[in-house]
Amino acid sequence: MGIVVNLDVMLARRKMRLNELSERVGISLPNLSILKTGKARAIRFSTLEAICRELDCQPGDILEFVDDHGAG
């Protein structure tokens, strides 16, 4: 599975909508949506920093590594 993006979880915890976060961090709604759905191939540290600042969280609250090779 690899890296899982939990942006939707943090948005729900902060009672914030994706479009509000988009306006606050200056990132387009389509780009944030791609990140939220886990379809992004990369994220800049500056983007991650801005998201964490607005959501008052740590990068590990948004990004999680899930190793499914051991399952079975």
Q: Where do the structural domains in the chain lie, given as residue ranges?
A: 2-66
At 33-66, the pLDDT tens digits run: 999 999 999 999 999 999 999 999 999 999 999 9
Q: Please say whether the beta carbons of 11 and 21 come within 8 A.
A: yes
Tell the CATH topology of 2-66.
434 Repressor (Amino-terminal Domain) (1.10.260)
pTM score: 0.88
Q: Which residues have CB under 8 Å from 5's CB, separation 6+?
A: 35, 36, 37, 38, 40, 62, 63, 64
